[in-house]
């Protein structure tokens, strides 16, 4: 018996090759039935097949977190099929690497529609069912950019800071209904999509990552998607029954490291 046996968990963007994969796999390994909500159907099929091959429970729904009607339909379907919703992981997200003054209004609106408005809408649709159950765990994936950022990431940082604030607000308001809400903020994760991004500007992806680990982290290893997944599974479980409103960095010590040789 896993810690999440009998629980129904939605993971938005759960087909993503990096963190989405890590979260979906680890929730299923802990016993949850994972419902992957994805824009990308082949990606969703792939992670469900992997979970089922390991003996876990998974299904998927095609959904777009930037569209309210899509979210309402998706959450309604999960409740209709399973009769409950125990865990909501808002992982789906997009990035924007652009100086704040150079971004267009369209780029801002697109980023906000997925990274912040989408998180809020999924919470808004899931909370009434969690209130009926008098229980539920919401885990929102932000980023280390919620508190410290770098050039070109100002708008992404704004969205992720918004996610952390929203999560605290949900925790404060709905704790009385047995609902917990926490933020998980990953640092640089060793994922195929990050490799692709780094390959666009660095001659050696491995060399760039090794240098990042040495200069920016306290721990000397790359963060794996499963590291994020295991933290999410803990927060989803009753082992974290008295933890709410927290923002937990899975960043190998990026936030606490100042640059310097000593
Ligand atoms: N990769 C990192 O190093 C890193 C670090 C910190 C935070 N994050 C955050 O972690 C989350 C996952 O990031 P990732 O890098 O693994 O991303 P990813 O692009 O690999 O996966 C995201 C998934 O979300 C899906 N998706 C995108 N828009 C969607 C929408 N509108 N509706 C439904 N699904 C949608 C995509 O199809 C994709 O499968 C994001 O919120 C991201 O901001 C990532």
* 125 and 41 belong to one structural domain: yes
pLDDT at 262: 63
Q: Ligand 1: which residues within 6 Å by Cβ?
A: 12-13, 15-20, 37-40, 43, 63-66, 91-94, 114, 141, 143, 186, 188-189, 191, 193-194
* 203 and 235 belong to one structural domain: no
* 138 and 198 belong to one structural domain: no
pLDDT at 16: 94
HSE toward the beta carbon, residue 3, CA cutoff 13 A: 16
Please state which of the ranges 99-103, 112-116, 176-180, 196-200 shows the lowest mean pLDDT.
196-200
* 163 and 58 belong to one structural domain: yes
pLDDT in tens, 178-235: 999 999 999 999 999 899 999 999 999 999 999 999 999 999 999 999 999 999 999 9
Please state the domain count of the chain.
2
What distance in angstroms lies between residue 95's CA and the mean position of ligand 1's atoms?
8
**Residue at 53 is within a domain:** yes
* 199 and 125 belong to one structural domain: no
* 218 and 199 belong to one structural domain: yes
**Residue at 152 is within a domain:** yes
pLDDT in tens, 56-97: 999 999 999 999 999 999 999 999 999 999 999 999 999 999
Is the pTM of the predicted complex or chain greater than 0.85?
yes
**Residue at 3 is within a domain:** no
* 144 and 176 belong to one structural domain: yes
Range(s) of the domain holding residue 122: 8-187+224-248
What distance in angstroms lies between residue 113's CA and the mean position of ligand 1's atoms?
13
Secondary structure (DSSP) of the chain: --TTTT-EEEEETTT-TTHHHHHHHHHHHTTPEEEEEES-HHHHHHHHHHHHHTT-EEEEEE--TT-HHHHHHHHHHHHHHHS---EEEE-------S-TTT--HHHHHHHHHHHTHHHHHHHHHHHHHHHHHT-EEEEEE--GGGT---TT-HHHHHHHHHHHHHHHHHHHHHGGGTEEEEEEEE-SB--HHHHHHHHTT-S-HHHHHHHHHHHH-SSSSPBPHHHHHHHHHHHHSGGGTT--S-EEEESTTSTT--SS--
* 15 and 123 belong to one structural domain: yes
**Residue at 170 is within a domain:** yes
What distance in angstroms lies between residue 207's CA and the mean position of ligand 1's atoms?
24
pLDDT in tens, 142-172: 999 999 999 999 999 999 999 999 999 999 9
pLDDT at 259: 84
**Residue at 2 is within a domain:** no
* 165 and 195 belong to one structural domain: no
Catalytic residue numbers? 156
């Amino acid at each position: 018996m896993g810690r999440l046996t009998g629980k129904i968990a939605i993971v938005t963007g759960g087909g993503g090759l990096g963190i989405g994969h890590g979260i979906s796999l680890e929730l299923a390994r802990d016993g949850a039935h994972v419902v992957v909500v994805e824009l990308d159907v082949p990606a969703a099929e792939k992670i469900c097949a992997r979970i089922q091959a390991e003996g876990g429970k998974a299904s998927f729904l095609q959904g777009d977190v930037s569209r309210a009607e899509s979210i309402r339909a998706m959450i309604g379907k999960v409740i209709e099929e399973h009769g409950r919703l125990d865990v909501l992981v808002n992982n789906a997200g997009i990035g924007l690497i652009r100086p704040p003054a150079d971004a267009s209004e369209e780029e801002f609106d697109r980023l906000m529609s997925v990274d912040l408005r989408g998180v809020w809408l999924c919470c808004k649709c899931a909370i009434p069912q969690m209130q009926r159950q008098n229980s539920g765990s919401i885990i929102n994936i932000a980023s280390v950019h919620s508190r410290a950022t770098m050039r070109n990431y100002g708008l992404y940082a704004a969205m992720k800071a918004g996610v952390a604030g929203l999560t605290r607000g949900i925790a404060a308001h709905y704790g009385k209904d047995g609902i917990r809400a926490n933020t998980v903020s990953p640092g640089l994760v060793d994922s195929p999509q990050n490799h692709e991004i780094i390959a666009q500007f660095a001659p050696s992806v491995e060399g760039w990552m090794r240098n990042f680990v040495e200069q920016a982290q306290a721990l000397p290893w790359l963060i794996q998607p499963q590291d994020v997944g295991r933290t999410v599974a803990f927060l989803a479980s009753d082992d974290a029954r008295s933890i709410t409103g927290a923002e937990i960095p899975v960043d190998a010590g990026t936030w606490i490291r100042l640059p310097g040789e000593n």
